Amino acid sequence: MRILVTGGAGFIGSALIRHLIKETEAVVCNYDYLTYAANPDALQGVSESPRYSMQEHSICDSEALHKVFREFRPTAVMHLAAESHVDRSIDSAEPFIMTNIVGTYHLLEATRLYWNRLEGEKKDNFRLLHVSTDEVYGDVTDMEQIPTETSPYAPSSPYSASKASADHLVRAWHRTYGLPVMITLGSNNFGPYQHAEKLIPSMIQKAIRGENLPIYGNGEQTRDWLYVSDHVLALMAVLKEGEIGESYNIATGHHKTNIAVVREICELLEELAPKAKPHGISHFKELIRFVKDRPGHDREYAVDTSKIHSTLDWSPKESFQTGLRKTVMWYLSNNF
């Protein structure tokens, strides 16, 4: 396998590349623009491998994309490059439109040109796996009607709307040009090396610095939490066994409200880092503060995962508790 990974210096992309280099024989080219969200340290221990190479370019740069396809000659593309933070998309949507929509368009075109010139088995076996999010389905208001892969999209934020747009382009490139694509729709990830702007790392770091822990609104927003290495295994399962043109929801059923997540982090810090507790409080939970809610904040995400369970050999290995413990321990020992 020769896999072109876009966004491989990000949180999930770097976990994917660590897996590909350590657990498989794949040759990997990491195509990443190294934006603020990238963390090259997350590739330490694999970036020295002769099976790893890096191209620092934007997916909006079609020349650079064509060149990497010509020179690297991938057997598959795993597309993770994206602007990924909802709050940033509310402050300024343009980078989300450019990278997530326009960038995906350029990647699709470069892939199409390359794939059109392949022949025989190489053409038949080629795949483009596009990594999307459960946020494209929007708020789930009725738990009796959890979105399946055929449910309509109803994105709420500029981030989720840009991801939904990209998904539509990917589907259209399959339908119109026959490009062998698959789409995954993953739930909220957590684990080592996640950027400090995201909920779990931000709460761990603020707590050990003795800062207040701001929770949007009443904290009752519910998410399905997926440990990052379980997401990686799901992506690998889809790449290997998924059907061309199909989408796969990836989630765990570990539904937690934001306030419950933050309380569990506080409990773990009480156990694992009691000395980090600031003076004047008797429990980390006393740092929690409720702040004005984010506009358009979806209350609940949930997806039906029966398709991936019944058609592919995947189920999560980590529970929320085991994954959170590993995550907190990692942040404590890596001084992020």
Ligand X SMILES: NC(=O)c1ccc[n+]([C@@H]2O[C@H](COP(=O)([O-])OP(=O)(O)OC[C@H]3O[C@@H](n4cnc5c(N)ncnc54)[C@H](O)[C@@H]3O)[C@@H](O)[C@H]2O)c1
Give the active site residue among 32, 52, 105, 135: 135
Which member of 9, 65, 181, 182 binds ligand X (CB under 6 A)?
A: 9
Q: Is 11 in the site for ligand X (CB under 6 A)?
A: yes
Q: Which residue's CB comes closest to ligand X?
A: 10
Q: Which of 145, 8, 6 is nearest to 69 (CA)?
A: 6
Residue 281 C-beta: closest distance to ligand X, Å? 30
φ, ψ (nearest 5 deg) of residue 94: -55, -50
Give the active site residue among 32, 83, 134, 230: 134
Which member of 3, 4, 5, 7 binds ligand X (CB under 6 A)?
A: 7
**Stretch 102-131: interaction string toward ligand X, x if CB under 6 A:** -x---------------------------x
Contact between 83 and 89 (Cβ < 8 Å):
yes
Interface segment toward ligand X; rule CB under 6 A; list 142-150, 187-195, 240-248, 313-321: 187-195
Q: Is 5 in the site for ligand X (CB under 6 A)?
A: no
Nearest 5°: the CA angle 105, 108, 112 is: 140
Paired strand residues for 45: none
> Is 135 tagged catalytic?
yes
183 versus 266: smaller Cβ distance to ligand X: 183
Which member of 3, 18, 32, 331 binds ligand X (CB under 6 A)?
A: 32
CA distance 76 to 229: 20
Q: Is 258 in the site for ligand X (CB under 6 A)?
A: no
Q: Is 151 in the site for ligand X (CB under 6 A)?
A: no
Which member of 17, 20, 33, 47 binds ligand X (CB under 6 A)?
A: 33
Q: Total residues at the site for ligand X (CB under 6 A)?
A: 30
Which member of 59, 140, 200, 239 binds ligand X (CB under 6 A)?
A: 59
Chain residues 131-150 in contact with ligand X, contact rule CB under 6 A: 131, 133
Strand residues in 144-212 grouped as ranges (E): 181-186, 188-190
Q: Is 12 in the site for ligand X (CB under 6 A)?
A: yes
Strand residues in the chain grouped as ranges (E): 2-6, 27-31, 52-55, 76-79, 127-133, 181-186, 188-190, 213-216, 222-227, 247-250, 255-257, 288-291
Contact between 249 and 185 (Cβ < 8 Å):
yes
At which residue do the structure tokens 């010139």 appear? 117
Q: Between the CA atoms of 40, 108, 59 and 191, what dihedral angle is there, to the nearest 10 degrees?
A: -30
Pairing of strands 76-79, 127-133: parallel
The DSSP code sequence of 284-323 is: GGGGEEEEPPPTT--SB-----HHHHHHSS---S--HHHH
Tokens encoding 122: 């190489």
> Is 134 tagged catalytic?
yes
Q: Is 188 in the site for ligand X (CB under 6 A)?
A: yes
Paired strand residues for 183: 130, 247
Give the active site residue among 31, 52, 159, 193: 159
Interface segment toward ligand X; rule CB under 6 A; list 1-9, 66-74, 113-121, 298-306: 1-9
Tokens encoding 249: 């929801």
Interface segment toward ligand X; rule CB under 6 A; list 78-86, 149-157, 289-297, 309-317: 78-86
> Is 61 tagged catalytic?
no
**Stretch 206-235: interaction string toward ligand X, x if CB under 6 A:** ------------------------------
Q: Is 189 in the site for ligand X (CB under 6 A)?
A: yes
Q: Residues with catalytic annotation?
A: 134-135, 159
Q: Which residues are at the interface with ligand X (CB under 6 A)? A: 6-7, 9-13, 32-35, 37-38, 58-60, 80-84, 99, 103, 131, 133, 163, 186, 188-189, 195
